[in-house]
Structure 1
Amino acid sequence: MPVPEGHPDVFEREWPLRVGDIERTGRLRFDAACRHIQDVGQDHLRELGQEDTHPAWIVRRTMVDLIRPIEFSDILRLRRWCSGTSNRWCEMRVRIDGRKGGLVESEAFWINANKDTGTPARISDDFLRGLQATTDVDRLRWKAYLTAGSRDDALEIRPYPLRVTDIDMWDHMNNSVYWTVIEDYLDRHPELLAGPLRVTIEHDAAVAGGDELEILTHVYPAGSTDKFGADLTDRDVITLTYVVGNDVKAVAALFAL
């Protein structure tokens, strides 16, 4: 979906790519990009005057396409707009451009939550009208794309110790921290960064402070990946399943575009 250029309901911000956002080669990391996606979303809420009325959002899925790396000393241009709605959730696109040609595209499925109960809550009519200004999709439904891998046939099972700084004010691992697992995997498999890469994370339940998180790795070779989509049978798909004991918390998938 291209950016609705010039549309008044496309929210835009710019800021520098800083040292804390890059890995050893200078590339904008996935976890840093997703922190920026969170941050521009909060800025967008504040700009719309909805930060107090809709303060709590739960991300169900984030899909990020690394088209061209954005590298250190660049300026990030973030544009955010709605690409689909229902009365309790929405999908929001964020495109991150670097002035030197780097590009990261993303779409996230956000659930508006009651801040006291954590359950899905209705989006107010005035807010919904604003969201719908950039999309014709008003009956958005949730459909999971990914399936958790099993311990029994995992290629690798790695402990992923949590740090106190990973935990947010709700005693959950912050959304962006899930993406550090992706960076950990890419550091050991840099060949995946040779071309455009899609990474998707779907959340089933929150990882809480004190949990003993483990990551189950599965690699599905080309020809065995039809369950991920008919158009993906010609490439490998890697899944990383986030588990605490026998409980699945999230699933990630990585494949070349």
Structure 2
Amino acid sequence: MMPVPDPHPDVFDVEWPLRMADIDRTGRLRFDGAARHIQDIGQDQLREMGYEDVHPAWIVRRTMIDLVAPIEGRDFLRLRRWCSGTSNRWCEMRVRIDGRKGGLMESEAFWINFSRETQGPSRISEDFLAGLQRTTEVDRLRWKAYLKAGGREDAEQVRRFPLRVTDIDLFDHMNNSVYWSVIEDYLETAPDLLKEPLRVTIEHDSAVALGDDLEILLHTYPAGSTEKFGAELTDRTVRTLTYVVGDEVKAVASVFGR
């Protein structure tokens, strides 16, 4: 991922403690906990820049998180956030999470500025965009999906994921961090994946709403078996988790192991 442009006055830099609600039984910062931190620092940066009321609503299209080294409990986190690419309606934002004990998680997310009135992408104000562009030279960012959904007919496993009222956010959708709790459920069955650096990516196609009968389809592609995720990843085993409601794909997650 793009390195931190440090020192740089437009890198938003904050610290806060790692809380009990975000760690697993071993004390590791979970992926869903990291996703909440990524959302929280984004809201804090908007407030700090004075644009929380101008651009209050953002929809995430893709989030990529690299677990480089586990961040463990009773640690203190340093989070740095900056822009790595822009267009006039969306941007990519990097967040690096460092633990004082040496743990590290890095992320990049594709965020769409959303209009509650039109229910669609909205133009970013020129002055706000100018601030974002101070940390990147990419100003014609395009959306391109990287992940491929798996089908029900050849899934290794189909598992229901019951939704709770507390999973639903301001947009009446399943909150982004809840998608990452599905990843943690899977990692519980594959703990060896956490022994090495791990990349997990989630791409969203459409929203999951309360009352939807959400199912998770699991597929595994052994190393050397497919080029569907790019020729540079053919040496890795890739697991996909496809989020479906009936026959409609809502999101796809890929776990890139070694």
The TM-score, its normalising length taken from structure 1, stands at: 0.99
1:134 lines up with 2:98 in the alignment: no
C-alpha separation between the residues in 1 aligned to 2:13 and 2:257?
A: 28
Within-5 A mapping of 1:222-241: 222-241=223-242
1:240, distance to aligned residue in structure 2 (A): 0.2
Q: Give 1:84's aligned amino acid.
A: G
1:202 lines up with 2:203 in the alignment: yes
Instruction: Give 2:106's aligned residue.
Output: 105
Identity across the alignment (%): 75
Query: What are structure 2's unaligned runs of at least 5 residues?
Result: none
Q: Give 1:75's aligned amino acid.
A: F
Comparing 170-179 and 65-74, the one that deviates more = 170-179
> Which deviations, in whole Å up to 9, do the C-alpha atoms of 1:57-106 show, x marking residues without a partner?
01000000000000000001000000000000000000000000000000
Instruction: Give 2:251's aligned residue.
Output: 250
CA contact (8 A) 1:225 1:236 kept: no
Q: Give 1:172's aligned amino acid.
A: H
SS in structure 1 at match of 2:194: helix
1:256, distance to aligned residue in structure 2 (A): 2.3
SS in structure 1 at match of 2:181: helix
SS in structure 1 at match of 2:91: strand
SS in structure 1 at match of 2:210: coil
Instruction: Give 1:171's aligned residue.
Output: 172
1:225, distance to aligned residue in structure 2 (A): 2.7
C-alpha separation between the residues in 2 aligned to 1:143 and 1:180?
A: 25
C-alpha separation between the residues in 2 aligned to 1:170 and 1:88?
A: 18
1:115 lines up with 2:111 in the alignment: no
1:2, distance to aligned residue in structure 2 (A): 1.1
C-alpha separation between the residues in 1 aligned to 2:238 and 2:114?
A: 32
Q: Give 1:45's aligned amino acid.
A: L
C-alpha separation between the residues in 2 aligned to 1:142 and 1:170?
A: 22
C-alpha separation between the residues in 2 aligned to 1:81 and 1:51?
A: 16
Q: Give 2:224's aligned amino acid.
A: G
> Which deviations, in whole Å up to 9, do the C-alpha atoms of 1:24-57 show, x marking residues without a partner?
1110000000000000000000001111010110
C-alpha separation between the residues in 2 aligned to 1:134 and 1:245?
A: 42
1:147, distance to aligned residue in structure 2 (A): 1.1
SS in structure 1 at match of 2:219: strand
Q: How many residues align?
A: 257
Q: Give 1:40's aligned amino acid.
A: I
C-alpha separation between the residues in 1 aligned to 2:76 and 2:139?
A: 34
CA contact (8 A) 1:92 1:109 kept: yes
Instruction: Give 1:43's aligned residue.
Output: 44
1:132, distance to aligned residue in structure 2 (A): 0.2
Query: What are structure 1's unaligned runs of at least 5 residues?
Result: none
Q: Give 1:123's aligned amino acid.
A: I
SS in structure 1 at match of 2:77: strand
> Which deviations, in whole Å up to 9, do the C-alpha atoms of 1:115-156 show, x marking residues without a partner?
222201100000000000000000000000011110010010
C-alpha separation between the residues in 1 aligned to 2:226 and 2:125?
A: 41
1:164, distance to aligned residue in structure 2 (A): 1.1
What do you get for the CA RMSD once the two structures are aligned?
0.7
The TM-score, its normalising length taken from structure 2, stands at: 0.98
SS in structure 2 at match of 1:37: helix
Instruction: Give 2:9's aligned residue.
Output: 8
**Following TM superposition, where does structure 1 have runs of at least 4 consecutive aligned residues deviating by more than 6 angstroms?**
none
CA contact (8 A) 2:62 2:204 kept: yes
CA contact (8 A) 2:35 2:180 kept: yes
1:171, distance to aligned residue in structure 2 (A): 1.4
CA contact (8 A) 1:241 1:250 kept: yes
CA contact (8 A) 1:27 1:70 kept: yes
C-alpha separation between the residues in 2 aligned to 1:137 and 1:208?
A: 34
SS in structure 2 at match of 1:113: strand
SS in structure 1 at match of 2:133: helix
